[in-house]
Structure 1
């Protein structure tokens, strides 16, 4: 819960007002300062502090689009508590549409960071020390990497009951149980006692209206549930729970033609796709190895043998 006064990045945040702060990342070799805008809306009534964060990977633009819509629709204006929005966390990667930080590191594997480490590690350290301690709940927006297209989903640890409750309230099409990855933002925040949801939807370098809509509606549900905004929680349908999963990989190299629809249930031996050569002489069908849900598809047109193509649920 927020306290009075509420201080962030060394500045007191006034009640009932919008405040925009700059989280300084570094200076370019031209001496130009690179800042990450932090948008804070604090109500006049005390309540939880919720952080909405996107763009930890610079090419994952769907998450940026989600927070942009939340701000545009004024969903981030609370009646109690505080809502912090960081639409573009990895500003370097976002500017040139790459996943990594300029030092080549994956920022989401650098937490909690180090004061004297690499540039990515120093930035992770700054966030961990100056923002993370002051928030209660976090929604971290991601997409599939490269050409991997994720169905809208929330990922959370099965043992984290608070996160699981919020995942159900978010009401995505799918909830995927996954362990926290060491040195990720999710793992670090969990160890700090914060409740964090990781949203995955769509693929990198796109603005998918369906995915953005899922992210906005789900976040709105969370904020209503926590009492930060008014409204009624929207329940579309019961989410599908993915307890275990495996990647179905390409048995051959070639041109990849997709037959399965993302997010659907398929039966064993159903054709998911076809791999073929450019000369019209070779064609290999890809069959579902068992009854399962498809929740991520690699949409690259050319694949190599062993490349991950379909992420499938394993029903227990």
Structure 2
């Protein structure tokens, strides 16, 4: 059966790219999101993948750029639907939020087809995503430095929690954040429609990170193999799962100097960071309240009093 997504249309054994029209720009011209359809020769499940829901989170675009050329429809059972850039307006200006309505796109799901710019884009992509059997919503920590992780956002009491957790483990970044997310996230909204969804956060800060992109590419192929889109033996290892966090702010203004690297295990009382003057004079030392893993840190060194500095995962196990 031929599968269409926007202007992309592919019969079994074919692939196509095109645009999913979602509105008009300020000069009245139409715009569309870049989309791809890979329709396997054999029947099977449907996977939906999207990237750049937040416009400056580019590693997911890098993953798609590397994955799609490697997908031969002759080798695939099932269908892969891809929206390569979701937050069109923010991507154009390299910003996190949609500048048309100052909205963070990953708080707009399931969207509204007659609403704001972000709500319309969310509605259009949500309609496509919920045609699938599983969803990968590729992100990165654009405003922070962070480890590569996969987020399960539906909450532990959700009926699809185990399915989402399995999908996160199969993706295989090594770390899983298992914590109910804010309203409006795709990984919160899509499980309510019966579609297991995870939110891989591929590294942090702005721009390409080749190592995180490599992990993302491996993760996508892990999913394709495990769920029988591609032939092969899927193997995966136990992941470190975090379900709770302690956040640390700056007790003084100045420059932050970290004493531990991302992913490092820390004990209660270990120094996490110091705050110094521009001349290296120490103003404050902040230590861990509990044992855990340094999971996330601010990107820029300068801080004002009370400003966020880092997060330590404290409720940790293996899955």
TM-score, normalisation: structure 2: 0.90
SS at match of 2:262: coil
Deviations along 1:164-197, one digit per CA (max 9) or x if unpaired, are 1122222222111110321221222111111111
Distance 2:74 2:255 in 1: 48
For the pair 1:125 / 2:126, whether they are aligned, the reply is: no
Counterpart in 1 of 2:275?
A: 275
Gapped regions of structure 1 (runs ≥ 5): none
Q: Any conservation in 2 of the 1:111–1:185 contact (CA below 8 Å)?
A: yes
Counterpart in 2 of 1:114?
A: 112
Counterpart in 2 of 1:244?
A: 244
Distance 1:91 1:116 in 2: 18
Question: Over aligned residues, Cα RMSD in angstroms?
Answer: 2.0
Distance 2:68 2:185 in 1: 26
| Alignment map for 1:194-209 (pairs within 5 Å) | 194-209=195-210
Counterpart in 2 of 1:44?
A: 41
Counterpart in 2 of 1:300?
A: 300
Deviations along 1:39-61, one digit per CA (max 9) or x if unpaired, are 11001211111011110000001
Distance 2:74 2:66 in 1: 13
Q: Any conservation in 1 of the 2:6–2:21 contact (CA below 8 Å)?
A: no
Counterpart in 2 of 1:185?
A: 186
Cα 1:46–1:64, aligned 2, differ >3 Å: closer, same or farther? same
Distance 2:289 2:305 in 1: 17
TM-score, normalisation: structure 1: 0.91
Counterpart in 2 of 1:232?
A: 233
- TM-superposed deviation, 1:238: 2.4
Q: What is the aligned length?
A: 310
Deviations along 1:47-90, one digit per CA (max 9) or x if unpaired, are 11101111000000111111212124337875200112222111
Distance 1:9 1:134 in 2: 14
Gapped regions of structure 2 (runs ≥ 5): none
Counterpart in 1 of 2:22?
A: 25
Deviates further, 149-158 or 51-60:
149-158
Distance 1:139 1:281 in 2: 46
